[in-house]
Amino acid sequence: MTAQGLLVFDVDSTFIEEEVIELLAETTGRRDEVARVTERAMRGELDFAQSLRERVAVLADLPETVIDDAAAAVTLTPGAAEVVAAARADGWIVALLSGGFTAVIERVLDGAVDSSEQSGTEQRVSTGLVIDEIRANTLEIVDGRLTGRALGEIVGPQEKARHLTEIASAHGVPAQRTIAVGDGANDALMLEAAAVGVAFCAKPALRQHADVVVDDRDLRVVWDRARARL
* Spatial contact of 29 and 13, defined as CB atoms under 8 Å apart: no
Catalytic position from the list 12, 114, 132, 183: 12
Confirm if 123 and 117 have CB atoms less than 8 A apart: yes
d(CA 23, CA 67): 9
Question: Known catalytic residue: 10?
Answer: yes
Phi/psi region, residue 22 (left: phi>0; alpha: psi -120 to 50; beta: rest), is alpha
Per annotation, catalytic residue among 10, 114, 132, 187: 10
How far apart are alpha carbons 57 and 155 in whole angstroms?
16
> Active-site residue 211, yes or no?
no
Query: CA dist 95 to 18, 21, 82, 166, 175, Å?
Result: 18, 20, 15, 12, 15
Catalytic residues: 10, 12
